[in-house]
Amino acid sequence: MAQITINNKQIDVPDGTTVLRAAEMAGIHIPRLCEHKELTPYGGCRLCIVEVQGVRVPMASCTLPVNNGMVINTETEAIKKSRKFILSMLFSERNHFCPFCQVSGGDCELQNAAYAEEMTHWPIQPGWNDFPVDTSHPYFVLDNNRCILCRRCVRACSEMAGNFTLSVAERGAKSMIVADTDIPLGESTCIKCGSCVQVCPTGALIDRTSAYQGHDEQMTEVKSVCAGCSVGCSIKIMVRDNRIVRIEGDWDGPVNHGALCEHGRYDAVTESRKRITSPMVKKNGKLEPVSWDEALNTVKEKLQALNGDKHGVAGLASTRLPAETLAAFNDLFKGKFQSDLVTSIEEGVPTAAVAKYAEGHENFEGKIDALRTADAVMCIGANLQTSHMVAGFQFKRNLTKGTRLINIDPEESGLDDLANIVIKPKAGTDLALIRGLQAIIAKEGLERSSLKIKDADKIIKNAVAETDISLEKLTQAARLLANAISPVILYGKGVTAQRDAQIVEALHQLAVQIGAEDSERNGLLSLKGESNSQTATLLGLDQPFSLNGHKVTYLAIGDDYVSKSLVERAVKSAYLVVQASYESKLTENADVLLPVTLWAEQEGHYINLDGRIRKAEKAITAPENVRDNLDVLTDLAKRMNLSLDTDWQKAIRGRKSSVALN
């Protein structure tokens, strides 16, 4: 600990704390522009200068570590004067003609900093040089004329997204933010996560969809959870006039720490599917708008006519629906109707094998956080460049700092370019491969915990033969893993789609063997697909969807996308009830269509891939005549004199979880 004095206030702070952070702990705000709590301090804008007793020149507090006995002043006349001068310089370097800027009037940190110093004009004549404006990106515009070269965007791109697209070209006053080797952003390696836009303190990075749609103070901020995938990033939904204007990453999010991927940030604001706005019933081969009463009574009669036949109704629900809805759905069709086919849109592909193994090994999986400190990551059957991207960010950002990556995927994958070792085994040979790695580690004497493997040579030979990967390459991978201090094993659909709990067991054994799992941390993680896959699996909604003479099919699709293969299977059904938000090939074929809320129009709980149970909030109100997903199910049940079990917390505990729930 170090004892310091800031503005006559004494405070003890841990060694290594920066003066800026120490001041914050003491409740003292130091103005800053380039500094950001999720980014490495850079000391570029100099706005955070303070006076340190015994030091002649003002010091940038964001990069200055505390010293025991340090005496600091942040508000002396000299400091205030310097701050104004620094701001004047920043304003004069480029074009900051605020009236033309979309962030002017409340959302610009540069402008706000000037107002805080009671500045009303720029004492220095502004420069008139023209800098390039890059409009090639689908989601944002980069206007270098408004850039203050704080490099937050550059750091966000590398430290948050792990993408290293942005950098600074040229020097001094000519410096410019560029993508890759100074190519248009729209043609660059940018993965469109928008992190750079979120951190830009000025109007240099302009969000195309939300620009000029209102200032932050005119919007309601709803903290929620992204329903885009099983990572479960924390978000802030910015709403104005019942419209989602923008989605931002929540800096307090326990999984994402502010980062989002393209889907989480932009899908909701660029949605182009057509909403269903009225209940419909097929009459003479044509869907006709009807009242809710008529639609639900039609379904009720159809269901009651089944007379308890186990092949009567088949149910399928989206894994994007909240836990409350999934539990009610499960209780209605499995509990009350005793149907033999009640499942989810994912059919347990990402989760069933994991859940099966969990029956004997509850909570064997770890937390996403392990990725942030991993020095080696083995990625098997998961493409983090296209799916679960924010999970990928957590280690991609460290690949330039020594973290090593092994990518195991029979197909070309975006991760190959980033990996230290690329293994392309024959598809479906993962079990042999993992056992081979185990045997090599044992044979080389590198085990942290012995698996007591017999016949190692035979297993290794088999691995080489089955996978078609050389012994040298397998040995390289085995050594890298076994020698790591904090390894993580990540596996996805490429593995889980094989529906083989033995592969999960082998991966778990490997994790134990290399010390990825100990009392301190657990570096074994499966990617679970959609936002509520884990909930669906805990409810037992994870069998293949294969209709077998069922008379009625009830599809609670919500706002999910519908795959071709699902449509092909569903349209064969004798009678189709579709509960959905958007029109699709599936709704075209419905006999009854029930229009329902989408994720932001309803509230409810989600369990992400590492077992966090969190509530997504209602941010906007659904159009008239569109009803809540859960409401529709409860109303339907009520019409049949059934009362649904709403205790979802209890229902999900009917099965052992692969990951601790909290």
Ligand X SMILES: Nc1nc2c(c(=O)[nH]1)N[C@H]1C(S)=C(S)[C@@H](COP(=O)(O)OP(=O)(O)OC[C@H]3O[C@@H](n4cnc5c(=O)[nH]c(N)nc54)[C@H](O)[C@@H]3O)O[C@H]1N2
For the record, the structure tokens of 220 come out as: 């309601």
Measured from the CB of residue 193, what is the shortest distance to ligand SF4 in angstroms?
4
Long-range contacts of the stretch 587-590 (C-beta < 8 A, 24+): 587/276, 590/280, 590/282, 590/287
| Residue for token pair 């933010």 | 177
Measured from the CB of residue 41, what is the shortest distance to ligand X in angstroms?
32
**Residue (of 254, 236, 238) closest to 613 by Cα position:** 254
Please identify, using beta-carbon distances, which residue of 179 and 345 lies nearer to ligand X: 345
Contact pick of 19, 239, 349, 501 for ligand X (by CB under 6 A): 349
* Eight-class DSSP state of 615: E
| Residue for token pair 């240099």 | 204
Measured from the CB of residue 537, what is the shortest distance to Mo ion in angstroms?
12
**Residue (of 487, 242, 483) closest to 366 by Cα position:** 487
Neighbours of 525 (CB within 10 A): 27
For the record, the structure tokens of 321 come out as: 């629906």
Counting contacts by CB under 6 A, is residue 525 touching ligand SF4? no
- Give the per-residue contact string, 493-522, with ligand X (x = CB under 6 A; - = no): xxx-x-------------------------
Measured from the CB of residue 40, what is the shortest distance to ligand SF4 in angstroms?
14
> Can you list the alpha helix ranges (DSSP code H) found in 132-192?
152-155
Counting contacts by CB under 6 A, is residue 396 touching ligand X? no
Neighbours of 48 (CB within 10 A): 27
d(CA 647, CA 46): 55
Q: Are 580 and 566 in contact, with CB atoms under 8 Å apart?
A: no
**Residue (of 590, 609, 592, 621) closest to 657 by Cα position:** 609
Stretch that binds ligand X, among 438-446, 501-509, 560-568, 586-594 (CB under 6 A): 560-568
Give the CA dihedral 105, 109, 110, 111, nearest 10 degrees: 20
- Give the per-residue contact string, 517-546, with Mo ion (x = CB under 5 A; - = no): ------------x-----------------
Counting contacts by CB under 6 A, is residue 236 touching ligand SF4? no
Counting contacts by CB under 6 A, is residue 258 touching ligand SF4? no
Counting contacts by CB under 6 A, is residue 345 touching ligand X? yes
d(CA 299, CA 577): 7
Q: φ, ψ for residue 348 (rounded to 5)? A: 70, 10
- What would you report as the CA-atom Rg of the chain, rounded to the nearest whole angstrom? 28
Counting contacts by CB under 6 A, is residue 229 touching ligand X? yes
Counting contacts by CB under 5 A, is residue 346 touching Mo ion? yes
Contact pick of 47, 332, 389, 576 for ligand SF4 (by CB under 6 A): 389
Counting contacts by CB under 6 A, is residue 96 touching ligand X? no
Measured from the CB of residue 326, what is the shortest distance to ligand SF4 in angstroms?
18
d(CA 408, CA 391): 17
d(CA 155, CA 446): 37
Closest residue to ligand SF4 in the complex (CB): 264
Counting contacts by CB under 6 A, is residue 559 touching ligand X? no
Stretch that binds ligand SF4, among 63-71, 147-155, 273-281, 542-550 (CB under 6 A): 147-155
Closest residue to Mo ion in the complex (CB): 529
Residues within window 203-232 making contact with ligand SF4, judged by CB under 6 A: 204-205, 226, 228-229, 231-232
Counting contacts by CB under 6 A, is residue 192 touching ligand SF4? yes
For the record, the structure tokens of 395 come out as: 């280690």
Amino acid making up residue 438: Q
Stretch that binds ligand SF4, among 55-63, 151-159, 269-277, 295-303 (CB under 6 A): 151-159
205 binds, among ligand SF4, Mo ion, ligand X, none (CB under 5 to 8 A by kind): ligand SF4
Counting contacts by CB under 6 A, is residue 563 touching ligand X? yes
User: Which residues lie below 8 Å from residue 72, measured CB to CB, with a gap of 6+?
Assistant: 4, 5, 6, 7, 19, 23, 50, 51, 52, 53, 61
Counting contacts by CB under 6 A, is residue 623 touching ligand X? no
Contact pick of 196, 238, 349, 511 for ligand SF4 (by CB under 6 A): 196
Residues within window 367-386 making contact with ligand X, judged by CB under 6 A: 380-383, 386
Q: Buried (b) or exposed (e) across 228-267, using 16+ Cβ within 10 A?
A: bbbbbbbbbbbbbeeebbbbbbbbebbbbbbbbbbbbbbe
Residues within window 426-455 making contact with ligand X, judged by CB under 6 A: 427-428, 430
Residues within window 600-659 making contact with Mo ion, judged by CB under 5 A: none
Please identify, using beta-carbon distances, which residue of 24 and 262 lies nearer to ligand X: 262
Neighbours of 653 (CB within 10 A): 12
Counting contacts by CB under 6 A, is residue 269 touching ligand SF4? no
Closest residue to ligand X in the complex (CB): 494
CA 310, distance to chain mean position in Å, is 39
> Can you list the alpha helix ranges (DSSP code H) found in 429-532?
430-443, 456-467, 471-483, 493-496, 501-513
Measured from the CB of residue 385, what is the shortest distance to ligand X in angstroms?
9
Residues lying near ligand SF4 in the complex (CB under 6 A) are found at: 147-153, 156-157, 161, 163, 165-166, 177, 190-196, 199-202, 204-205, 226, 228-229, 231-233, 256, 260-261, 263-264, 388-390
The contact set with ligand X (CB under 6 A) reads 229, 263, 267, 345-347, 349-350, 380-383, 386-389, 408-411, 413, 427-428, 430, 492-495, 497, 527, 529-530, 561-565
